């Protein structure tokens, strides 16, 4: 029986972090949420909060906002890793992005930290369509996206969280890099069609060139760092042929298949999230 651990979950209110924290709590571990609103607080924009949050922690699950690819992420991960060693943290589990070269530089910092570690590289999340930037156009019934023909093996945040928990708790995962994908690759058009079918809604999809998509975001007042990230993800990550490959790492770690995208759509449709009214801009 494993001893109970003290674990800091950075991004403990986010898409994967809240599920990791919930699963660890259910197993009886001492979980500290790393967020700006928690006590002690953890704020990526204020490095003075990091040591306080890591004090007394054995292990840390790291998710970086908004993404490890953004400028400044590498410096932050280097400093966080240094402070983790000073706080006698024993193990780091880093959520990374599959096919993101910048994210892989951050991985190297963790790999060469001298601490026990595991890297969890995830494909794009299923939940991007229900909890993130694709939700609003789905609600509006009109989705226009670049890279329309690219196939993506979307992965469920529930599966990511289960793998992260295993990696945190079992030393047999030390030193491993896991690449997490779903079991099938889908184009945006196929995704939107499936959501429309299950919800019984008429949702139009149209391909759009990346420069035009970026221009629309800028006109809508989307923050510059978010625009940069979206442009990077669509050009560098979705444009990377390696990102359509399907892996079996979820099955390797968990002994079960990854959640099928169709099951995600059916479960999510039952919540009614895709049938609510979009917020109207006043």
pLDDT tens for the chain, 282 residues: list them. 358 999 999 999 999 999 999 999 999 999 999 999 999 999 999 999 999 999 999 999 999 999 999 999 999 999 999 999 999 999 999 999 998 989 999 999 999 999 999 999 999 999 999 998 899 999 999 999 999 999 999 999 999 999 999 999 999 999 999 999 999 999 999 999 999 999 999 999 999 999 999 999 999 898 898 899 999 999 989 878 778 899 999 999 999 999 999 999 999 999 999 997 665 443
Domain ranges of the chain: 6-124+156-181+245-257
Contacts of residue 85, defined as CB under 8 A and 6 or more positions apart, other chains included, come to 113, 114, 115
CA gap 199, 273 in Å, rounded: 10
Task: Identify the pLDDT of residue 1.
Answer: 39
CA gap 200, 23 in Å, rounded: 33
Report which of 228, 232, 238, 182 is spatially closest to residue 207, judged by C-alpha positions.
Answer: 238
Task: Identify the pLDDT of residue 275.
Answer: 93
CA gap 106, 188 in Å, rounded: 29
Q: Give whole-number Cα distances, 141 to 137, 194, 209, 222, 230, in Å.
A: 6, 13, 19, 20, 21
Task: Identify the pLDDT of residue 280.
Answer: 47
Task: Identify the pLDDT of residue 279.
Answer: 57
What is the model's pTM?
A: 0.95
- In CATH terms, 6-124+156-181+245-257 corresponds, of 3.60.15.10, 3.40.50.720, 1.10.357.10, 3.40.50.980, to 3.40.50.720
Task: Sheet with 177-180: list strands edge to edge.
Answer: 30-34, 6-10, 59-62, 91-97, 116-122, 177-180
């Amino acid at each position: 029986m494993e001893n109970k651990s003290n674990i800091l979950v950075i991004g403990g209110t986010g898409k994967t972090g809240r599920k990791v924290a919930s699963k660890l709590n259910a197993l009886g571990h001492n979980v500290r949420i790393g967020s700006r609103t928690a006590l002690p607080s953890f704020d990526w924009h204020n490095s003075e909060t990091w040591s306080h949050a890591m004090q007394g922690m054995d292990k840390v699950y790291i998710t970086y906002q908004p993404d490890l690819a953004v400028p400044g992420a590498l410096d932050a991960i280097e400093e966080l890793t240094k402070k983790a060693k000073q706080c006698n943290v024993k193990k780091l589990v880093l959520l990374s992005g599959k096919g993101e070269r910048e994210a892989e530089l951050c991985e190297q910092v963790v790999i060469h930290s001298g601490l026990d570690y595991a890297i969890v590289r995830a494909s794009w999340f299923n939940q991007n369509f229900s909890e993130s930037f694709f939700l609003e156009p789905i609600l509006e019934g009109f989705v226009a996206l670049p890279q329309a023909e690219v196939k993506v093996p979307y992965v469920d945040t529930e599966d990511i969280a289960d793998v992260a928990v295993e990696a945190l708790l079992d030393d047999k995962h030390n030193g491993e890099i896991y690449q997490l994908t779903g079991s099938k690759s889908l184009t945006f058009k196929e995704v939107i069609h499936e959501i429309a079918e299950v919800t019984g809604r008429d949702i139009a999809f149209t391909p759009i060139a990346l420069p035009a998509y970026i221009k629309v975001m800028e006109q809508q007042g989307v923050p510059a760092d978010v625009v940069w990230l979206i442009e990077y993800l669509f050009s560098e990550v979705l444009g990377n042929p390696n990102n359509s490959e399907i892996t079996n790492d979820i099955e390797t770690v968990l002994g079960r298949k990854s959640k099928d995208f169709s099951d995600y759509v059916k479960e999510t449709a039952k919540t009614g999230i895709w049938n609510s009214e979009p917020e109207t801009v006043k």
